[in-house]
């Protein structure tokens, strides 16, 4: 531009138009360059604005994602905290139940020990009772045998003196029954015989029963004597025997 002004000063007025045209041409070219640069810069600015908007949108999306992640993280933390509290509560509850279970087991063990002690005491008491019952039974047996021997001696003395009275005969028969129940069959037969020989039908029948499994003829003899006195059980036995013989 300075060169153009210098040319105007040195060349004169005729060159002014040429200089002006040159200036206009230079200005036009310069404006075109500036316009092109402006368009390019505008395009770059638009691209830059679009990129800024894209970045802003991406930033907003990222912030939204971060916010969602934060929310999820907070929810997760709250859930984890709730689970930790629940686990702590469950552990505490489990501890109480475990303690209660141990107490129950201890009480059950103590109860079983007491029951076992009671069972052993009962067994000992039962064994002692059985031992005492055995001693008592032996004493009673001995006393009963002694009484029976005394009764036998008294009845034998009465028999030697003469015929037994009705009371003595009944006592003798009762003594025979006691011997029979005690399975002392020999003494039972002796007692029954004493009364049977004096004509007591019941004693005669009992004597027949005593001989029934051994000496049949002796049994039939006493059955007949009792039956002849109208003693019905003896008559029934004789009838059954007669049917067997037939």
Backbone phi, psi, residue 49, to 5°: -65, -40
Q: Report yes or no: 192 and 203 within 8 Å, Cβ to Cβ.
A: yes
Average pLDDT over residues 187-214: 90
Instruction: Please enumerate in sequence order all residues whose Cβ is within 8 A of that of 11, keeping only pairs 6 or more positions apart, or say none.
Output: 19
151 lies in some domain: yes
Higher pLDDT, 234 or 46: 234
Q: Are residues 130 and 177 in the same domain?
A: no
Q: Are residues 157 and 203 in the same domain?
A: no
* Length of the chain in terms of residues written: 246
Measured between alpha carbons, how far is 201 from 191 in angstroms, rounded to an integer? 14
Q: Final residue of a domain: which of 162, 197, 218?
A: 162
pLDDT at 168: 77
Q: Are residues 191 and 207 in the same domain?
A: yes
232 lies in some domain: yes
31 lies in some domain: no
Confidence of residue 143 (pLDDT cuts 50, 70, 90): low
185 lies in some domain: yes
Q: Are residues 95 and 139 in the same domain?
A: yes
Measured between alpha carbons, how far is 192 from 167 in angstroms, rounded to an integer? 14
Predicted model pTM: 0.39
231 lies in some domain: yes
pLDDT at 226: 93
Confidence of residue 223 (pLDDT cuts 50, 70, 90): very high
Q: Are residues 196 and 217 in the same domain?
A: yes
Q: Are residues 81 and 157 in the same domain?
A: yes
Asked whether the predicted pLDDT for residue 192 surpasses 60, the reply is yes
Q: Final residue of a domain: which of 162, 177, 206?
A: 162
Asked whether the predicted pLDDT for residue 139 surpasses 60, the reply is no
Q: Are residues 175 and 158 in the same domain?
A: no
Which CATH number fits the domain that encloses residue 230? 1.25.40.10
pLDDT at 15: 57
Q: Are residues 175 and 145 in the same domain?
A: no
Q: Per the structure, how many domains does the chain have?
A: 2
Q: Are residues 180 and 220 in the same domain?
A: yes
Average pLDDT over residues 62-81: 82
pLDDT at 160: 46
Asked whether the predicted pLDDT for residue 8 surpasses 60, the reply is no
Q: Final residue of a domain: which of 133, 162, 191?
A: 162
208 lies in some domain: yes
Q: Are residues 81 and 156 in the same domain?
A: yes
Asked whether the predicted pLDDT for residue 12 surpasses 70, the reply is no
Q: Are residues 115 and 156 in the same domain?
A: yes
114 lies in some domain: yes
Q: Are residues 156 and 82 in the same domain?
A: yes
Confidence of residue 246 (pLDDT cuts 50, 70, 90): very low
Higher pLDDT, 112 or 63: 112
Asked whether the predicted pLDDT for residue 227 surpasses 90, the reply is yes
173 lies in some domain: yes
The range of the structural domain enclosing residue 135 comes to 76-162
């Amino acid at each position: 531009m300075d060169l153009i002004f210098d040319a105007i000063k040195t060349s004169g007025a005729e060159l002014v138009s040429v200089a002006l045209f040159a200036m206009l041409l230079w200005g036009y070219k310069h404006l075109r360059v500036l316009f092109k640069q402006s368009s390019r810069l505008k395009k770059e600015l638009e691209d830059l604005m679009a990129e800024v908007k894209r970045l802003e949108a991406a930033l907003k999306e990222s912030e939204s994602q971060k916010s969602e992640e934060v929310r999820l993280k907070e929810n997760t933390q709250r859930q984890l905290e709730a689970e930790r509290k629940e686990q702590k509560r469950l552990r505490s509850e489990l501890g109480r139940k475990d303690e209660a279970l141990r107490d129950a087991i201890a009480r059950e063990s103590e109860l079983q020990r007491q029951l076992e002690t009671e069972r052993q005491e009962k067994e000992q008491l039962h064994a002692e009772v059985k031992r005492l019952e055995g001693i008592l039974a032996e004493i009673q047996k001995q006393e009963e045998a002694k009484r029976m021997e005394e009764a036998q001696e008294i009845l034998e003395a009465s028999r030697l003196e003469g015929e037994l009275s009705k009371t003595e005969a009944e006592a003798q028969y009762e003594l025979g029954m006691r011997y029979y129940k005690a399975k002392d069959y020999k003494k039972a037969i002796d007692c029954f015989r004493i009364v049977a020989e004096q004509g007591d039908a019941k004693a005669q029948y009992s004597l027949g029963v005593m001989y029934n499994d051994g000496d049949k003829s002796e049994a039939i003899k006493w059955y007949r004597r009792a039956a002849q006195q109208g003693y019905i059980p003896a008559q029934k036995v004789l009838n059954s025997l007669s049917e067997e013989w037939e």
